[in-house]
Amino acid sequence: MVAPIYILALFCTFSETETWEVKVLGLMIFLVGLFLRVWSQMHLHYRLKAPRKLTITGPYVYVRNPIYIGNTMILAGTTLISELVWLTPIMIIVCIVTYSLVIRYEESHLTDKYGKPYIDYLKNVPRWLPTTLWNSTSHEHNPWEFFWPSIRAEAYILLLLILPIIKELYY
């Protein structure tokens, strides 16, 4: 559901905001989203060769879905880089709707998989807006050992910048 809005942002030239400040803001939002994805990956280990378990460390202490928040920031950032300020709120709304549907399935699946520890996590950590530190009892020994593997696993996100750059050069 998000892809059509991203594609629109790449090819639409209607009412572009031609200022460097918008592009810089977009790049900053993109990079914060990418940082959030890498930090999340360091703890989640999705797509990494590491044992998977209930993740309640790192950004997961503050919010249940940091990767989806990172994705939303990345897509909002690319929309701004594409100079479509007016499309950015639409992109954010589409991301929230799309990820909310995915999250309903994931939460049901994780409840079945992890049971009470996950139910306790759901009660203590908000879905979207970060909260104060939750006192989790799980401590990962050294998440930094996953820093470079997480960077490699998330590097493909940088490809999302290629098309807005091509758009800028072409139009």
pLDDT class for 32, splitting at 50, 70, 90?
very high
Domains located in the chain, CATH noted: 3-7+16-164 (1.20.120.1630)
> Residue 5 has what pLDDT?
82
What local confidence, expressed as pLDDT, does residue 31 receive? 98
Over residues 88-101, the pLDDT tens digits come to: 999 999 999 999 99
Each residue of 3-25: pLDDT tens digit?
888 888 777 888 888 899 999 99
Q: Give the side-chain half-sphere CA count within 13 A for 69.
A: 18
Kindly report the pTM of this predicted structure.
0.87
Residue 137 has pLDDT above 70, yes or no: no
What number of H helices and E strands is found in the chain?
Answer: 7, 0
